[in-house]
Structure 1
């Protein structure tokens, strides 16, 4: 039988134990055969949190809490009438999570690892044992929502904070996309209002599938959704983490789950945007770990269902195949937003905005020439048309021609540097 001290004091991770004192008898002598009493001990033990236990929580679980954090948690609990006797009582975890986001996740992962180790090493584990373990871990995963200590959720704003929503509305084209985003915002606000008024809130997925060709604004819209959801209280941070297959899938056995977990951790409280997500399931070769990445992602999405929005994006047909590749994907991604190709008028507006942003004024003949050129780009579009990316490439060629023309001028003035002529427009 493996002793807990082989995990804590030796085998869990040498980085955490090097130079640290051995943990006390009460922790180190608990065997994995006594796993569930150990979990009860950690959750409801009758001793105060001592210095060495703080070291365990800080070093082994890597949550970075300071002595001041513990003291603040102690005071907060006492101010709320809680007797601070258990090792890691639910109320303490709640306070600690507020002081150090991610604390409960650290506890959860450590205990989950111990459970998995016990199941693997002790064939006597029963379904009842496993069910009990899940019961112990569930409140940690949910961050111990205790009404007596948790501040009341902020009421959702009557409208999303102006800047992000206004920026969404200012995007060129994308009328259908804007309406779908508004629908999502309305639903999110509705669910928050129900929760804040003590009404049941049905489990609803806010994860999304973006389909369409490149250059249609998918990443921009994902960033704005993150901002809007933060503003109305759905997400606590509202940041956007962009990733793709190259960052999620490892090259060797065992790498992929940790890579996916690291990316998901970085996105907690915000939006995880997976571009070309279909590439995760294109190869069923035994040495390809894309499907493993999907399985890991689905589990983490469930673990953090209240603290993460995942958006997967790619070409329409390929994304349909992606969703069909795993039943878990189909059940979690129920909201689809399609990004149509821009029309010629949209592309001309995009080019004009690029000029305005860079303080470049088009002379009338240059403007007419640019409109003809953009129209030609649109007319010659293929199946996987690059949309705004094509316009960006065209704009860069205009700047290059402008630079070439001004290279023949000694010390061009501000007017010359900010004026485009017909000579600068590729035909």
Structure 2
């Protein structure tokens, strides 16, 4: 049998009589007619033969024209086979002295360089054809090492006219790009032939021929209709880059035989006597349906905690596959089934685990040949030089045939919306070209990531990516609720030999509930981290106990809880009673809601206006608010991110919104303190202020930030009030106001004494104490009085003066 597509006799009536007559005197053309399909290719070859015969009749030199040729087409369309026939034909016609064919590839020559090309050409000293498959890999624009090979090959082709003919083969788009690299290439390859993908009828014939040629005897089918269904499945990939055509048929057949063998072995183990040469419907096409009782993968999925939306999505997919099986049996058009998907969710929600289960389900259904999971990160795809990213991506995709390819954190491949990253863009373009998502494609690609950056990826990358991976059909992995986290924690603890009681479970869930407010909550991963922390706290608690006692110990509730936070509301600064009263009011309100089993955030806003002059304690109280709300479980951290209006600006129109989002992402889970926020007011001349305010209002309504962070607008009261009028949404979102009055002389004196004592370890003598109110009143009356800031500066100067005096006295 010829390699490439399966041969078969042409149908009598379908072959022009002139071809049949011409083939009687040409062994090469006779072989060409035996190939299935390829009518355009056959036409070109017969035309070429006729033209050469005419040239002979004209007594013209056959070497006056070029016989180099380009073959365009997918794998498995017969390009290699036709190249061998072409070499034989050229020898028959007297164009070449020998029909020797040397087969190599673009990647082999790119890697081996000019020396490798010289070795290949040495084999053709007597004449013949150099067949260069995937020649586009020599394009210097994507592979710099290809330039030297091409620069050597072109003059060799000219110098060896009459002895050497070169055939370049590959995908049409990439081959046209290669020909465009050098102006000498198109003139040397003026003839290009496109090898079409096989029709359903031709694919069926190839499949039947493969089945019929089996040794020592051919397989038989229960019903030839099943072969027609198989050909239609394969044919749905027609027109996509990389469709294997005859190779795909051969792979399909081998998978069917593997399923048949597995069935026969199982039936023999059950004491049955199966027909070893019978291909049943499920052998060829896979089972019509799966149910939980017969699928270990589905059983594992159902046993998983939570993931109800994912379980529902799998059930819908299986139902669609059952519907398609019935439509196929009736030989009617089927509904589209998309195997490539987007998985959205935070870490630890089971995305990679479910990917493995998904692969096994697809394998059991016959939609994937292996069902293994290949996990890759964006860095695995990226090269360091032009062309390397494409090569790495193609290699990964080729290695994942038959498998589920998981690209974790896929949003990191986003090339950007303006100045695009060429390496990331090359990866996405290659994925779009290679991953078509058509039925029968023996590969499933899953893109994993968080919802918002994945939306940005689909919006800003090659539009073909969004068509192949539709966010509307994404599987969403929700964060686990308290009940589900409790179940996960019980099981994880049991694996450690711990039996957790209700107090321990309650304490653990309490800690995890706080963690959930942090960005990118780790879910099951957060449970593992918590139990690791518990183990460390147990060891600290059991210091002094014997090894045996420590090994037998069980956790207690206190091991789950962090050390007591310092009291969040305390007057280590001199604040007015109204400020302290407001903080205590918030604390009491939140605790009351928690005692009643209500969510405090249903009736309590986390956005505030802190109004007052500089130095009145706004920043310090912001820190106390962070500590207070963290201790009450409303925030996951007490960290305060302080910024000013200028931090929102980039100096370029359209970029302020992105900068604003970055600030929110930095502060989520804690406190974002915007000092002198009134400078964002567009009325103050800030040309980017409106964009920043619009984005702030938008972010405060997004689930990622809403009720998960404190935002404080700080500044003078009148200016902050004016700011609220700049955007209609601001006033309703910052309804809670906390006023910070200027320090009185008494408050300022108390603060100075406290700072001198606590910060510098000094005490004022009676004479200094007596003169302090008068001096303080002078400072308060001075222009630009900054309350606590000026008091702090005074305390530091007192310490420096004292240091100088005591040093001089010594």
TM-score range, shorter chain: 0.5 to 0.7
- Report matched runs for 1:343-362 at 5 Å: 343-362=481-500
Cα deviation 1:87-143 (Å, max 9, x = unaligned): xxxxxxxxxxxxxxxxxxxxxx9744994545655335999946x145589698334
Q: Is the 8 A contact 1:155 1:196 kept in 2?
A: no
The answer to whether the aligner puts 1:156 opposite 2:288 as a matched pair is yes
Give 3-state SS (helix, strand or coil) of 1:141's partner: coil
Cα deviation 1:318-369 (Å, max 9, x = unaligned): 111211223212211132111222111211111111012233223x3xx413
Aligned equivalent of 1:33: 68
Give unpaired runs (5+ residues) of structure 2. Answer: 1-62, 87-99, 110-167, 199-237, 257-283, 563-810
Measure, in 2, the Cα distance between the counterparts of 1:115 and 1:260: 19
Measure, in 1, the Cα distance between the counterparts of 2:319 and 2:249: 27
Deviation of residue 404 (structure 1)?
Answer: 4.7
Cα deviation 1:135-163 (Å, max 9, x = unaligned): 5896983342559x945323334426522
* Structure 1 residues 368 and 54: alpha-carbon distance in aligned structure 2, compared to 1, 3 A threshold: farther
The answer to whether the aligner puts 1:230 opposite 2:332 as a matched pair is no
The answer to whether the aligner puts 1:291 opposite 2:413 as a matched pair is no
Cα deviation 1:219-255 (Å, max 9, x = unaligned): 1111211111111111111111112221112222111
- Report matched runs for 1:245-394 at 5 Å: 245-281=378-414, 283=416, 284-285=418-419, 287-302=421-436, 306-325=441-460, 326-334=462-470, 335-362=473-500, 364=501, 367-380=502-515, 381-394=517-530
Give 3-state SS (helix, strand or coil) of 1:273's partner: strand
Deviation of residue 257 (structure 1)?
Answer: 0.4
Measure, in 1, the Cα distance between the counterparts of 2:79 and 2:450: 51
Measure, in 2, the Cα distance between the counterparts of 1:128 and 1:182: 52
Give 3-state SS (helix, strand or coil) of 2:69's partner: helix
Aligned equivalent of 1:5: none
Deviation of residue 294 (structure 1)?
Answer: 0.6
Q: Is the 8 A contact 2:338 2:437 kept in 1?
A: no
Q: Is the 8 A contact 2:507 2:561 kept in 1?
A: no
Q: Is the 8 A contact 1:274 1:311 kept in 2?
A: yes
Aligned equivalent of 2:315: 182
Q: Is the 8 A contact 2:349 2:523 kept in 1?
A: yes
Measure, in 2, the Cα distance between the counterparts of 1:205 and 1:373: 40
Deviation of residue 375 (structure 1)?
Answer: 2.1
Deviation of residue 202 (structure 1)?
Answer: 4.5
Q: Is the 8 A contact 1:185 1:229 kept in 2?
A: no
Measure, in 1, the Cα distance between the counterparts of 2:102 and 2:305: 54
* Structure 1 residues 128 and 347: alpha-carbon distance in aligned structure 2, compared to 1, 3 A threshold: farther
The TM-score, its normalising length taken from structure 2, stands at: 0.38
How many residue pairs align between the two structures?
344
Could you say which structure has the greater relative contact order, defined with CA pairs below 8 angstroms and 6 or more residues apart? 1
The TM-score, its normalising length taken from structure 1, stands at: 0.67
Deviation of residue 168 (structure 1)?
Answer: 1.0
- Report matched runs for 1:162-173 at 5 Å: 162-173=295-306
The answer to whether the aligner puts 1:142 opposite 2:274 as a matched pair is no
Give 3-state SS (helix, strand or coil) of 1:214's partner: coil
Measure, in 1, the Cα distance between the counterparts of 2:415 and 2:175: 34
Deviation of residue 293 (structure 1)?
Answer: 0.8
Q: Is the 8 A contact 2:347 2:522 kept in 1?
A: yes
Cα deviation 1:302-321 (Å, max 9, x = unaligned): 29861111111211121112
* Structure 1 residues 230 and 135: alpha-carbon distance in aligned structure 2, compared to 1, 3 A threshold: closer
Q: 2:348 aligns with which of 207, 215, 229?
A: 215
Give unpaired runs (5+ residues) of structure 1. Answer: 1-28, 62-108
Aligned equivalent of 1:24: none
* Structure 1 residues 355 and 197: alpha-carbon distance in aligned structure 2, compared to 1, 3 A threshold: farther
Measure, in 2, the Cα distance between the counterparts of 1:186 and 1:329: 26
Cα deviation 1:22-70 (Å, max 9, x = unaligned): xxxxxxx9x88223499967324559xxxx989969x969xxxxxxxxx
Q: 2:531 aligns with which of 388, 391, 395?
A: 395
RMSD of aligned residue pairs (Cα, Å): 4.2
Measure, in 1, the Cα distance between the counterparts of 2:551 and 2:287: 53
Deviation of residue 166 (structure 1)?
Answer: 1.2
